[in-house]
Amino acid sequence: MKPLLRALAGETLPVPPVWMMRQAGRYLPEYRATRERAGGFLDLCYNPDLAAEVTLQPIRRYGFDAAILFADILLVPQALGAELWFETGEGPRLSPVATPGALAALRPPGAVHDTLAPIYETVRILARALPPDVALIGFAGAPWTVATYLIAGRGTPDQAPAHALKATDRALFEAILERIEGATVEYLSAQAEAGAEVVKLFDSWAGALEGEEFDRYCLAPLRRITAALRARHPGLPVIAFPRGAGARYAGAHAATGAQAIALDDGVSPEWAAAEVQTGGCVQGNLPSRLLVEGGQALVEETRRVVRAFSGGPHIFNLGHGITPDADPDNVHRMLEAIRG
């Protein structure tokens, strides 16, 4: 069995499997060259040959234990019928869905596949092309995080538009999340059918929810999606990433049903080993900034993470995505510190 799948099955390995969030990205010169060939970010996402190429680039360069599909979390709302485009230097823009009429205009969850068919073809290409010991991870954004973009029409620093709609029209807010949730199940199920061996749910703005709302709009959708995928694809491992959960990471395996909980670097690895890893496999959680800074601090912190999680199942990763200003040579240094 592939090392990543062994860890997800609960095995404690002498050397943890390793991959990085955003490992195919702007820090690599070969990625930048391929993106230029594609013509734009969305053009790259929807070109199966080129999307597969950028997914494979970090595998060739570094020999990671997993490849993660190159796509974007906002492809799901686009497939539901929202307009999606990227403003240079500013990020994604969506036609906002914050009224009953805008929600009614969206497609049903089962209608997303025509738009997303090129993504499934990328998965099929990767399933054939990856080395036999490298696992293939599919992914999607979690409903709350995707909804924050869809309701506002863009990324926001505090998710205020989503919070405002939740306060003024709870029924509409929940109906939007329900539509995203259904589409997410369809999307990830199709990725699994195409060859994804693991799927990951990114709830990047989970930390903006508190108390009962964290349970209701972060944990509960993750649990329902995981259960729906397990019903369709018995044995499919799920990695849940409720970023910013803090103390709420404790108990997240049981609360979500996921085989692994991905950790940001806002919690110490020692705390997480004691409070989270007892529930199952954990993934994380080296600070991304260390791949910019490098030096002995990178080596020492990498070894600290490995040491802290050495008593249970662990997938080495960053606490968030690698940044465009990271030094590719520092990734080699990180891997040497992990693998010896």
Per-run averaged pLDDT (10 residues), the chain, 340 residues: 98 98 98 96 97 98 98 98 90 96 98 98 98 98 98 96 98 98 98 98 98 98 98 98 98 98 98 98 98 98 98 98 98 97
Task: Let me know if 249 is a catalytic residue.
Answer: no
User: Which one from 149, 187, 217, 249 is the annotated catalytic residue?
Assistant: 149
Would you state the pLDDT for residue 216? 98
CATH class of 3-339: alpha beta
Task: Let me know if 149 is a catalytic residue.
Answer: yes
Task: Let me know if 62 is a catalytic residue.
Answer: no
- Return the H-helix or E-strand segment holding 129: helix 113-129
Would you state the pLDDT for residue 90? 82
| Closest among 337, 202, 318 to 269, alpha carbons compared | 318
Report pTM.
0.97
Task: For residue 92, list its beta bridge partners.
Answer: 86
User: Which one from 72, 203, 264, 265 is the annotated catalytic residue?
Assistant: 72
| Closest among 264, 292, 268 to 204, alpha carbons compared | 264
User: Which one from 6, 35, 61, 107 is the annotated catalytic residue?
Assistant: 35
Would you state the pLDDT for residue 87? 85
CA distance linking residue 39 with residue 310, whole number of Å: 44
- Return the H-helix or E-strand segment holding 86: strand 84-87
Given the DSSP bridges, would you call strands 260-262 and 238-242 parallel, antiparallel or unpaired?
parallel
